[in-house]
Amino acid sequence: MTILMVIIVIGMIIPFLWMLSASMKMEKDILTLPIKWIPKYFYIDNYKEVWNIGGKAKVDYHFGVAYLNSLKIAFINMFGAVLTSTLAGYAFAKIKFRGSNIIFLLYLSTMMIPSQVTLIPRFVLFNSLKMMGGHLPLILPGLVTITGTFLMRQYFMQIPNELKEAAVIDGVGEFRIWWNIMVPIAKPGMAALSILVFLWNWNNYLDPLVFLSNWRKYTIPVALTNFIEESLTQYGLVMAASASALIPVFIVFLVGQKFFVKGLVAGAIKG
């Protein structure tokens, strides 16, 4: 059975292996049959051109900019969304303010709205605010996540009320209860949410495609498709670009795999 699984696993990662091997071949060798999985030479000029090392790029952009843009947006939204979700999730779970049930019901019903329905209104909004082309149309809506708020509320619901009541008797303010008592307990939930938010932003394609128009502002997915459109017949380059987008993520994932897997599974089961 293990052997059967190994065959399946190889089948699963063959596309990646092939990407790697093709990315280090010269154009004429990619098309030779049968496929040489390990090339006789390692032709790294494809990578140099993709990353614009030594002025190799024929096109006026390189991947470093896209990486920085993607990282910037994903990190800002990760911190922002986790903060707003933790604040609101705590309030919905532990503060008995009037109207909280109705507002939470509103949240639950908006969870059903697909982001494509609000895409055109957001386009109109950012257009009239003259924000098109920059990162704000991606960052501002990303600072709040309804799913995340829901997840954090579920997390805080599990924390016993006694913890809070003891602090209230001691006269500790609500904000300090949140920061000093609740946030430390909620850290695993916040970590899980961070990973989810990061991945959502990192892989978001439709929104950047609509809102960005300049290579200096592109995120990785949009930079990748633009690169491909301009060099579609150069397969080695295309594969080097894809590999450049994927490999750093694989490395981060493998290094922190325990953490990631736990986070993703926790997010799933609580959801």
Partner 1 sequence: MRLKFKLSRQARIDLTGYAFIAPNLLGMLIFTFFPFFFSLFISFTDWDYTKGLGNWSFNFGANYVEIWKDEWFIAAVKNTLIYALTVVPITIFLALVLAVIIDKYCYAKTPIKLALFMPYISNIVAVAIIWVMMYSPWGPFTLLVQKLGWKNPPRWLGDYYWALPAIILMSIWSNVGYAVLIYSSAIQGLSQEVFEAADVDGANEITKFFKITIPALSPTTFFLITTTLITSFQVFAPIQIMTRGGPGTSTNVLVYYIYTAAFTFFRMGYASTISWVLFALLLVVTLIQWKGQKKWVSYE
Q: Which of residues 187-206 bind partner 1 (CB under 8 A)?
A: 199, 202-203, 205-206
Site for partner 1 in 128-157 (CB under 8 A): 128, 140-141, 143-144, 146, 149
What is the crossing angle of helices 187-203 and 257-270, to 10°?
100
Which residues, numbered 155-174, are part of the site for partner 1 (CB under 8 A)?
A: 174
Cβ distance to partner 1 smaller for residue 161 or 257: 257
Per-position b or e across 210-227, b if 16+ CB within 10 A of its CB: bbbeebebbbbbbbbebb
Closest to partner 1 by CB, 87 or 159: 87
The reply on whether position 251 binds partner 1 by CB under 8 A is no
Nearest-approach distance from CB 271 to partner 1, in angstroms: 7
φ, ψ of residue 187 to 5 degrees: the values are -55, -45
Q: Please state, in angstroms and rounded to a whole number, the distance separating the CA atoms of residues 100 and 91.
A: 8
Q: Does 263 bind partner 1 (CB under 8 A)?
A: no
Give me the 56-85 binding string for partner 1, x by CB under 8 A, dash otherwise.
---------------------------xxx
Cβ-in-10-Å burial (0-12, 13-18, 19+) of 177 comes to buried
Site for partner 1, residues 222 to 241, rule: CB under 8 A: 224-225, 228, 235, 238-239, 241
Q: Of 51, 53, 21, 56, nearest to 241 (Cα)?
A: 51
Nearer to partner 1, 216 or 257 (CB): 257
Identify whether 184 is preceded by a cis peptide bond (ω within 30 of 0).
no
